[in-house]
Structure 1
Amino acid sequence: MSQCVVIADDLTGANATGVLLKKMNYEAYTVMNTERIELSTLADCDCVLYPTDSRGVEPEIAYNRVHNVCNLLKGDDVKVYSKRIDSTLRGNLGSETDAMLDCLGEDYVAIAAPCFPSSGRVVVGGYMLVNGLPLHKTDIAIDPKTPVKISEAAVLFDKQSKYQVSSIQLKDLMHGKHYLADLMNQCVAGGSRIIVLDCITQEDLDLIADAVITSKLHVVAVDPGVFTATLARKLITPSQKKEKSKILAVVGSVNPNTTAQMKELWLSQRTHNVFVDTKELLEDDEKRVAEIERVADDILAACDRNAICTVTGDGIYPENRIDFKPYMERYQCSLDDVTGRINHAFAEITYRIFKAEPTFRGLYTSGGDVTVAVCERFRTAGLSLKDEVLPLAAYGQFLKGEFEGVHIITKGGSQGGRDAINQCITYLKEKLYI
């Protein structure tokens, strides 16, 4: 039987969630006609998605449809139950959530994390914002079929559900998963069966999922798909099992855009960063080797606690930029030779980390010269290109060499918006089930 059951209020929503799950290597089936499919067929998939076409119907009808489907699909093997809702909170949020809670039993609670970061849907201070605007000030307020005129997510659930609703806001997320798990349990102890949480970034959703697991609550994920995918990633092993892995970002670019992108990554995701003292790489061999060892050892010491690590040249800050002329004169060489010495040191750091810790299976590189140096040090025959993550950011895997199959995303330092590197790392997390 499937380990993830998603009941969606429409077909496109079911498919959109299914695609998110498929990107993480889960087998996902959308079922549109139970009369034409045997339940035994679903044993072959990790995730089953069922659209009830209930967004625009009366609440009682929506309740019955969701309850009937949930009763059909529930089972002892299911690890993730999801009520997929619209990303702008249209439809029968309350009655459909109630239906799943009633079907699954009194020990289940609904965790609503109704954000979709990549689509500009976030919840802040209890308010749903769409591309920065409160929900009631968008076109959703005048939707001809299912208008939404209230921006407060918890209020919408409270108006539609028969159950007590609690709200957890951004300030509560700042204290970590154990605090958040305790708060969830307190809400449940106080009588709540629906908990609506602020969420802005993928990192918020990871934190909420970790808190759910820590709380040991039996939950229904109520969201437009991203939280469901996050929870599934942490609880379900795909049929084609792959080990959880770590990601290393190696950034040698000094472009100002790279600085903004790295700051965004560090704010958005839990990472361990080590700055490379670039000047040390241009000194004598003893200092150069010592700096390479320092950076590599620092990453290796911290990687057990951090699935994402970053090695960043200190030149991303203008005050650390190097005047290369003295080094060109000292070594009687060209500018390319001097910068090549830096790039090859970055490559050596990367090689030592991957050699010492095989769980590093994802690599992000920024700066064309650093990328070339890494590929040369890894002795790869090339890259098997798989996808375009965003314009001028390519995803692929190493061909041949000592680290064949390692996942890599390459991007020019000047390319992309402020969140470009964050998007690339999130993409790798999905591929590697982190």
Structure 2
Amino acid sequence: MKKRIGVVADDVTGANDIGVMFRKGGYRSAVFPLSLLSLCDLKEECEELDAVIIDTDSRFDDPRTAADKVAQATRLLQELPCDRYFNKTCSVFRGNIGAEFDSMQDVLGVSCSMVIAGFPGNGRTTVDGVHYVYGTRLEDSQFRTDPIHPMDISFLPDIMSRQTDRKINQITWEDLDKGLEHVIGKKEELKKQCAYILFDIRHQEDLKLVARAVADEINLCGSSAIGEELPAAIREMCEDGQDPVFLIAGSLTRQSIAQTEYLRGKGYPVITFDTETIFDEEAFSREEERLAGEALKAMKQAPLVLVHSAQQPERVQATKEKGQKLGFTHEEIGKRISGCLCRVTRRVLTETGCRKLVVAGGDTSAAVTGELEIYRMEIGEEIEAGVPAMTGKTNLGEMSLVLKSGSFGSESFLEKAARYV
């Protein structure tokens, strides 16, 4: 799942600016003026958003008022809640920079924040802490004569130090050129020493690298440009330590059989449901417990785990014949099999907290949808012909979901779908 980012912006155009950056990165974003929040239920309005931006309209306030507005907005974002927080300011640091940064830090209880002012797409670059506008030092640019916030110095730490007493340190272009591992190492060391780490940015590649270096940080500050690169960096970070995906298959089509064997051949845990046990209550109960136990154990060790009903023709036929002798209809046999798969699914999702599910088979998909009470499924991108990724809302919470017809999909589809969610 995507991570929700809460943004506090000091003016409406800046709020829109960072909103479009996050949108370019694939995040649904919306702007809410702080002064008008009484007109809506913020939590309800933000349910489907990935970036929630509150405009405080505080750039021209006195520092105390600006800090109070930021504190109020940050607390509202915490109530949603959000995973990360961003204090969006002017790209040349006009406004109440120090007061607003300090205020968000205090509310979040964060000891060190990342500061990125560079916006290469709009000509703002930072080299050795000196800020440039289309190659001209900030103090020599058009912003020197700004009527409200004249920018008469170019060294960003000095601009910040006019408004905050907290220690500022830098990661420069020389650090960036040494690569991601070096930057992360230096960042972690500096976090022990200072309240703010300011990053040089010369071009978009620097932004990409810095986004990867700060993707795990709770609090970022500065201009909007990093917002374009941050979603991809967060996705990459989450994939590196990705939660496992749970897959179930009740389909007996040749496509689903090939997809199951593909996973088995790749070495993924593939757990087979002995469907002949469903006619003896004690054996059936033991089999369900075995399936759940093996799946739960495998989920701790593998990126994806598949539980599937027996698919070999001889075993399928043996189940049918045994059921017929005992007076079970084909429908009753199917319901027993899908019911077990559903109960195992609910238990695995409940006990592991996993919210990533792929289901193969139309009947099985319908049964799982009912079992988990998935009452809303938002259609996402098509993974393969006729099969979309979805975001499901259920009594277990929001989940990433793929429901596949048994006869759809390439041999590698289940692996592809698991990686997608």
**TM band (smaller chain):** 0.5 to 0.7
> Does 2:13 match 1:9?
no
2:100 is matched with which residue: 66, 89, 96? 96
Q: Which residue of 2 aligns with 1:29?
A: 30
Do the aligned residues in 1 keep the contact of 2:168 with 2:197 (CA within 8 Å)? yes
SS in 2 for 1:83: strand
8 Å contact 1:21–1:229 — kept in the other structure? yes
SS in 2 for 1:87: coil
Partner of 2:46: 42
2:126 equivalent among 104, 107, 123: 123
Give me the identity figure in percent. Answer: 28
Deviation track 1:236-255 (CA, whole Å, cap 9, x = no partner) reads 59xxxxxxxxxxxxxxxxxx
2:281 is matched with which residue?
Answer: none
Superposed CA deviations along residues 274-310 of structure 1, whole A, max 9, x for unmatched, are xxxxxxxxxxxxxxxxxxxxxxxxxxxxxxxxxxxxx
Q: Which secondary structure does the structure 1 equivalent of 2:212 belong to?
A: helix
Partner-residue secondary structure (3-state), 1:200? coil
Equivalent residue runs for 1:11-410 within 5 Å: 11-32=12-33, 33-38=36-41, 39-75=43-79, 77-106=81-110, 108-190=111-193, 192-213=194-215, 218-235=217-234
Q: Could you give the per-residue CA deviations for residues 183-241 of structure 1, whole angstroms, max 9, x where no partner exists? A: 11111112x1111111111111111122224xx5x33221211113322332259xxxx
CA–CA distance in structure 2, aligned partners of residues 201 and 80 of structure 1: 24
Q: State the structure with more CA Rg.
A: 2
Q: Which amino acid aligns with 1:138?
A: S
Residues 2, 77 of structure 1: 8 Å contact kept: no
Partner AA of 2:218 in structure 1: V
Deviations 1:303-350 (CA, angstroms, capped at 9, x unpaired): xxxxxxxxxxxxxxxxxxxxxxxxxxxxxxxxxxxxxxxxxxxxxxxx
Aligned-residue offset at 1:171 = 0.8
- 1:101 deviation in Å? 0.4
Residue 350 (structure 1) aligns with? none
Are the counterparts in 1 of residues 23 and 228 from structure 2 also a CA contact under 8 Å?
no
How far apart in 1 are the matches of 2:138 and 2:190? 26
Q: How far is the alpha carbon of 1:43 from its aligned partner?
A: 1.0
Shift of 1:173: 1.0
Can you give the 5+ residue segments of structure 1 that lack an aligned partner in the other structure?
A: 238-401, 403-432
Q: Which amino acid aligns with 1:81?
A: Y
Cα separation, 2, equivalents of 1:111 and 1:222: 6
Distance 2:74 2:4 in 1: 13
**One-letter code aligned to 2:48:** D
User: For residues 184 and 30 of structure 1, do their structure 2 counterparts lie closer, same or farther at Cα, with a shift above 3 Å needed?
Assistant: same
Structure 2: unaligned runs, 5 residues or longer: 237-384, 386-419
* Aligned counterparts of 1:126 and 1:207: Cα–Cα separation in 2: 17
2:125 aligned partner, one-letter code: V
Distance 1:75 1:176, change over 3 A: farther
**Residues 228 and 79 from structure 1, CA distance in 2 versus in 1: closer, same or farther, beyond 3 angstroms?**
farther
CA gap of 1:76–1:36, structure 2 versus 1, over 3 A, is closer
Residue identity matched to 2:227: T
RMSD of Structure 2 on Structure 1 (CA)? 2.4
Deviation at 1:122, TM superposition (A): 0.2
